[in-house]
Structure 1
Amino acid sequence: MDEIELESNLNGVAYRLAERRDIVDMLAIERDVYEGEVPWTFSHFEHEIVQNKDAFFVVAEIDNKVVGFIGARLTDKGVNIHISNLAVLRDYQKRGIATTLINQIVRLMSNLGKNQMTLEVRRDNTKAQGLYRRNGFETDNLMPNYYEDGADAIWMVKKLRNNVEN
């Protein structure tokens, strides 16, 4: 993903591509957001950041402290992009950081000519669903028993180009 260029500083928040050294901070953000749980392990993050050439993470920093991140990977032979995860420390939520992280990916992937973005979100996570809807995602499909605990997921899609070719 060498062609990625980020808007580096918006409203006092710096955005940059994640590096291996950020993983510990990203795990701490997960613990905070998911009430002690860590859906992704160190090795999950490491694989996506270091090894997977079709994946990347963007972190948000305030005063050199990582306060949020978004992960994405190319899918469908590089035509589309899938958001793998998004999290912002609770103390930094409601400041537009999650929206800016989404918008960074939308802008980058639109500029690279990608067709659409997809993601899955827990059916019971109406707060996240609202965030995604406000950012142009639409519900596409229900995925029963998607998560390990048996919870359902909602598949959401955002078109990036007007002339989507099949």
Structure 2
Amino acid sequence: MEIRTIFAIKQFVLYSVAYDEEKNEFKRLFDLWTSDFEYLESFFEENKADLQNGFWGVMTVEQAIFKTRNSAIKLRKQFYDIANNSESTDDKLQQLFRPLRNDEYQLNSLSKEKSKEGWLRIYAIRISENTYVVSGGAIKLTQTMNNEGSHLLIELKKLELTKQFLIENGLTDESDFGFFEFIPE
């Protein structure tokens, strides 16, 4: 596992892990969601029962692909708007992330968090108000992440792996990141 910088502009720092791949998770996800139509078609065909379970309404695979692509473009724009408007004190990465569990309200260091747009999720570990490490993401078609055999269970494991990696490498506070060698993207 490697940690790579997505952007580091003044007080806003977004990192992402890379799991034995050339791309970090942040880039990999947005590439899949915005331009890999074969992946999206395959994903929605494999998860057709969840797609049509009514949680998000009932739609065709083609409609789901269109919805995913549009949501991904919107979500990526939100991240880059914050990065590009770093002079503003109103825009914070913290505004894009919320605790993973909807019943959690306190913001803690090393908490598991999510950013969402429609059914898309970016999962990250919170280091501080404006420092996050992305562990992965998913298309969330069901109400909970704990469905048996769900691709979302993999994302829960990746969140935990990332948190353990950060702890084992002494990256538990924003200031710790100044001493860690990151691989530039």
TM beyond 0.5: no
Query: Could you say which structure has the higher helix fraction?
Result: 2
- Normalization by structure 1: what TM-score? 0.33
Larger radius of gyration: 2
Between 1 and 2, higher relative CO (CA 8 Å, sep ≥ 6) is seen in 2
**TM-score, structure 2 normalization:** 0.30
Q: Which structure has more strand as a fraction of its residues?
A: 1
